[in-house]
Chains A and B, each alone.
Chain A
Amino acid sequence: MKQFLFFILKTVAILLITMGLLDVLYTTVYLQSNSRTKIDYLYNSKDKNYDVVFLGSSRVNNHFVPKIFNDQGYKTFNFGITRSRLDESALMLKLMVERHYKIKNLILQVDLNINTNDHSEAIRSLFMPYLHRSPIIRDHYKDIPEYNELLYIPFYRYMHYDARVGFREMYFSLVHKRTNNLDNDGFHPLESHGGKMIPADLSKYYPKRNVAYEEIKAICKANNINLIAMTTPMCMSTINRDYFNHIREVYPEIHNFENAVTDDKYFATCGHMNEAGAIEFTKVVFNTFFKPKSNP
């Protein structure tokens, strides 16, 4: 039995050493990577100056075309990430501040995402490689139930979130395989595929006071960032478009842009515009809040 207990101890030791080594390997790789996701790009950059930064979900990622701003003499980047919620947008803004970004204007999408105070597991996972390195990320996640395991058990975070930061992603980061996430200054255009538009149903949506949104407001105020919070377009057949009016009842400062583009030809799906729609919409936003700095 003693022999077996010694065997088990050796196996456990191998397991722990392997976990430690893998943790170091994965973290080192992710710290070198800045071409896979907007989060690794953000974490591994510093001292950037932007006139305008866009934050939000796919309804930012697919809707705001930085080129239209850039052509008018502005420096902009679209940091919208598909599936992210306001919780992740707040953390991204905090990271920008931590990485000494200088931002004049923040355009924040606040529409469907204000229906919930929840987070996105898929996007949360992308912050995990930097958990040990960034006090901001640690502070942001200090109250989540699995925080201690994620922080103190080596490699646990890569196992827990293996679909997004597991071996596959680590390997692609190691060989510097690029994605198209950072192309077009972060804008990802969608194509229309024809067919009938399926209406989005917002009948179960109701805007609530949102902790992350209020955190974003506070960060902007503390760092002299002009916050422009707005809704973005949805197709006209959307069920319960009245939802957008309720948003202003909760937060009157949010600008209503859900009707900025209405024609179905500008939509890839009911909730997402195609490239032409995104260009039209970005022009409307630019003309509403900004003036050209230089003649293109």
Chain B
Amino acid sequence: MFFNSFHFAAFLPIVFILYWFVGHKSKINQNYILILASYYFYSCWDWRFLFLLVFSTLLDYSCAMKIENSQSTSYRKFWLWLCISVNVGFLGIFKYYNFFAASFADLLHSFGLNSSPILLQVILPVGISFYTFHGLSYIIDIYYGRIKSEKNFVDYSLFVSYFPLLVAGPIERATHLLPQLKRRRKFNFEKAKEGMYQIVWGLVKKVVIADSCATYANAVFDHYTSMNSLSLLLGAVYFAFQIYGDFSGYSDIALGTSKLFGIDLLKNFNYPYFSRDIAEFWRKWHISLTTWFRDYLYIPLGGSKGSKWLKVRNTFIIFLVSGFWHGASWTFIAWGFINALYFLPLLLLNRNRRNLEEFTLGFNLESVRIIFNIVMTFAITCFAWIFFRAKTITDAVQYIKRLFENRVFTEQYFPIERYNYELIALIALFILVEWNSRTKIEPISGKFSWLKLSLCLAAILALGVFSDYKEFIYFQF
């Protein structure tokens, strides 16, 4: 069941009615309804993996109490590492086993030794990377005494499996979500209306922007050897907007859906393509994952304290792990590596926290500089996206090589019967709308909200891609 499916359009109102009209009198009823809805939601992909979700929930729940109740540090460590090992072990088997087996065989082959790796024909359970990280953050917070363990199993289960965030985040923190689940939610019209606006805007991003861009980006990346420079350039830009529209659209729908149930989730995107440098980009892109890695990996490693060598090491570790989190492929690792290279000069020159404040533009040189920086940051981000999207690193390198060597910047007709330039106007309009609403959560609220809502609905109906259905990209992670 996808957020942009008719199945979900029927599922959501049913859960909403049950939640506010049947279970509204107590927090227990509300949580039971949400947990049943969440398990149903998850089982729509593959009910067999429900056991994994329930097992992971039980494991984290029990280990958290063991850690809290342990008298000695060694016992606390034991339960912590047991829990981490099992969680990461599942992730490793389901997501990374084939990658490591094949890479090991390739390594042996390079030394002249031939081996046939045993590859598992496993399906990646949807959302495993997200709910594993959910659980890990909870366990680590318990270990460091930041929070108390949750005694109510239903509340904890809902924290792990809450359907708006179950399959593709945002990666929640127990400190933020659990307190909301422990009290009865009262209906708030303004919050629900904001949620609806966010859902509609998320759908615009997904079915209008991301899916349209996907059609063109796929045409370019799948046939890059026959594309001219302009098509290759536009292909990278189209993919940049595809992945942004897809993932931030998903996050908007998740946050909006959750608001309908009176629950706030962590913000995941904050107009990242208007960033003035790569450090700002990473503060605004997939925020819940970035802050997760910052808090549970980067800071424990020493963060930006210590010698220059340590700073470099930590930066590379966090970006490489972040890349690898996205998928078991060298392309994602290369993408992480490139971002580390972008980030490193800012860190070493202590300029990574330079652009923290918001900006306004006017008719002055400072504004020109800001716009130039935004364009440059977007350009280098697109360059890195080529590695993220390409099937192999060789493909990415060849793509870039052809982009610079071909030097033909003319219109090109794709095999999908579309011209390379056709989406530029749509993307320009999208940028304009996002720019004007960059201080808000979504662009619909405010003055003329009914008109803006009508335009968004018309855009979804008229410009949305429905015949060539495309899954949310981050479901595969």
Q: Which residues of A contact B (CB under 8 A)?
A: 1, 3-4, 7-8, 10-11, 14-15, 18-19, 22, 125, 155, 158-164, 166-168
Which of A1, A22, A160 is the one whose CB lies under 8 Å from B466?
A160
Question: Helix, strand, loop or mixed for chain A's interface?
Answer: helix
Note all chain B residues with C-beta closer than 8 A to A3: 189
Question: Helix, strand, loop or mixed for chain B's interface?
Answer: helix
Q: Could you write out 12 A-B pairs with CB less than 8 Å apart?
A: A1-B20, A14-B454, A14-B457, A19-B461, A22-B458, A159-B466, A160-B466, A160-B467, A162-B466, A162-B467, A163-B467, A167-B462
Instruction: Please tell me if the beta carbons of A14 and B453 are within 8 angstroms of each other in the complex.
Output: yes
Instruction: Please tell me if the beta carbons of B192 and A4 are within 8 angstroms of each other in the complex.
Output: yes
Check if B104 is an interface residue, CB within 8 A of chain A. Answer: no
What separation, in Å, do the CA atoms of A167 and B464 have in the docked complex? 9
Check if B372 is an interface residue, CB within 8 A of chain A. Answer: no
Instruction: Please tell me if the beta carbons of B187 and A162 are within 8 angstroms of each other in the complex.
Output: no
Note all chain B residues with C-beta closer than 8 A to A7: 189, 193, 196
Note all chain A residues with C-beta closer than 8 A to B192: 4
Check if B468 is an interface residue, CB within 8 A of chain A. Answer: yes
Interface hub of B189, B196, B458, B462 (most chain A Cβ within 10 A): B462
Note all chain A residues with C-beta closer than 8 A to B187: 1, 4
Given A164-B467, A168-B418: 8 more A-B contacts, CB < 8 Å: A4-B193, A158-B462, A159-B461, A159-B466, A161-B467, A162-B465, A166-B462, A167-B462
Q: CB-nearest residue of chain B relative to A21?
A: B458
**Taking the nearest CB of chain A, how far is it from the CB of B424, in angstroms?**
14
Contact with A along B348-376 (1 / 0, CB 8 A): 00000000000000000000000000000
Check if B435 is an interface residue, CB within 8 A of chain A. Answer: no
Check if B450 is an interface residue, CB within 8 A of chain A. Answer: yes
Instruction: Please tell me if the beta carbons of A18 and B458 are within 8 angstroms of each other in the complex.
Output: yes
Note all chain B residues with C-beta closer than 8 A to A22: 458, 461-462
Check if B463 is an interface residue, CB within 8 A of chain A. Answer: yes
What separation, in Å, do the CA atoms of A19 and B450 have in the docked complex? 16
What separation, in Å, do the CA atoms of A166 and B467 have in the docked complex? 10
What separation, in Å, do the CA atoms of A14 and B467 have in the docked complex? 23
What separation, in Å, do the CA atoms of A240 and B467 have in the docked complex? 35
Note all chain A residues with C-beta closer than 8 A to B20: 1
What separation, in Å, do the CA atoms of A125 and B464 have in the docked complex? 16
Interface size on B, residues (CB 8 A): 21
What separation, in Å, do the CA atoms of A10 and B453 have in the docked complex? 11
What separation, in Å, do the CA atoms of A18 and B451 have in the docked complex? 12
**Taking the nearest CB of chain A, how far is it from the CB of B114, in angstroms?**
33
Instruction: Please tell me if the beta carbons of A163 and B196 are within 8 angstroms of each other in the complex.
Output: no
What separation, in Å, do the CA atoms of A244 and B463 have in the docked complex? 44
**Taking the nearest CB of chain A, how far is it from the CB of B190, in angstroms?**
9
Q: Which 4 A-B pairs have the closest CB atoms?
A: A159-B466, A163-B467, A3-B189, A167-B462
What separation, in Å, do the CA atoms of A158 and B458 have in the docked complex? 13
Note all chain B residues with C-beta closer than 8 A to A168: 418, 422
Instruction: Please tell me if the beta carbons of B461 and A11 are within 8 angstroms of each other in the complex.
Output: no
What separation, in Å, do the CA atoms of A162 and B468 have in the docked complex? 9
What separation, in Å, do the CA atoms of A19 and B458 have in the docked complex? 8
Instruction: Please tell me if the beta carbons of A163 and B468 are within 8 angstroms of each other in the complex.
Output: yes
Decide yes or no: A18 and B467 within 8 Å by CB, A4-B189, A11-B196 being known contacts: no
What separation, in Å, do the CA atoms of A168 and B193 have in the docked complex? 32
What separation, in Å, do the CA atoms of A22 and B466 have in the docked complex? 16
**Taking the nearest CB of chain A, how far is it from the CB of B40, in angstroms?**
22
Interface hub of B20, B193, B450, B461 (most chain A Cβ within 10 A): B461
Instruction: Please tell me if the beta carbons of B462 and A14 are within 8 angstroms of each other in the complex.
Output: no
**Taking the nearest CB of chain A, how far is it from the CB of B112, in angstroms?**
36
Note all chain B residues with C-beta closer than 8 A to A158: 462
Q: CB-nearest residue of chain A relative to B24?
A: A1
Instruction: Please tell me if the beta carbons of A11 and B466 are within 8 angstroms of each other in the complex.
Output: no
Note all chain B residues with C-beta closer than 8 A to A14: 450, 453-454, 457
Residues 50-65 of B contacting A (Cβ, < 8 Å)? none
Which of B450, B453, B454, B464 is the one whose CB lies under 8 Å from A159?
B464
Residues 1-46 of B contacting A (Cβ, < 8 Å)? 20
Note all chain B residues with C-beta closer than 8 A to A163: 465, 467-468
Note all chain A residues with C-beta closer than 8 A to B462: 22, 158, 166-167
What separation, in Å, do the CA atoms of A257 and B188 have in the docked complex? 74
What separation, in Å, do the CA atoms of A159 and B466 have in the docked complex? 6
Residues 423-477 of B contacting A (Cβ, < 8 Å)? 450, 453-454, 457-458, 461-468
Which of A15, A125, A167 is the one whose CB lies under 8 Å from B463?
A167
Note all chain A residues with C-beta closer than 8 A to B468: 163
What separation, in Å, do the CA atoms of A15 and B459 have in the docked complex? 11
Instruction: Please tell me if the beta carbons of B196 and A15 are within 8 angstroms of each other in the complex.
Output: no
What separation, in Å, do the CA atoms of A4 and B468 have in the docked complex? 33
Q: CB-nearest residue of chain B relative to A26?
A: B462
**Taking the nearest CB of chain B, how far is it from the CB of A20, in angstroms?**
11
What separation, in Å, do the CA atoms of A129 and B462 have in the docked complex? 14
Note all chain B residues with C-beta closer than 8 A to A19: 461
What separation, in Å, do the CA atoms of A15 and B453 have in the docked complex? 9
Note all chain A residues with C-beta closer than 8 A to B465: 162-163
What separation, in Å, do the CA atoms of A14 and B458 have in the docked complex? 9
Instruction: Please tell me if the beta carbons of A18 and B461 are within 8 angstroms of each other in the complex.
Output: yes
What separation, in Å, do the CA atoms of A93 and B453 have in the docked complex? 44
Note all chain B residues with C-beta closer than 8 A to A4: 187, 189, 192-193
What separation, in Å, do the CA atoms of A276 and B192 have in the docked complex? 67
What separation, in Å, do the CA atoms of A164 and B461 have in the docked complex? 15
What separation, in Å, do the CA atoms of A159 and B468 have in the docked complex? 11
Note all chain A residues with C-beta closer than 8 A to B422: 168
What separation, in Å, do the CA atoms of A158 and B461 have in the docked complex? 9
Instruction: Please tell me if the beta carbons of A162 and B457 are within 8 angstroms of each other in the complex.
Output: no
Note all chain A residues with C-beta closer than 8 A to B454: 14, 18
What separation, in Å, do the CA atoms of A133 and B457 have in the docked complex? 26
What separation, in Å, do the CA atoms of A90 and B186 have in the docked complex? 60
What separation, in Å, do the CA atoms of A3 and B189 have in the docked complex? 7
Note all chain B residues with C-beta closer than 8 A to A11: 196, 453, 457
Q: CB-nearest residue of chain A relative to B465?
A: A162
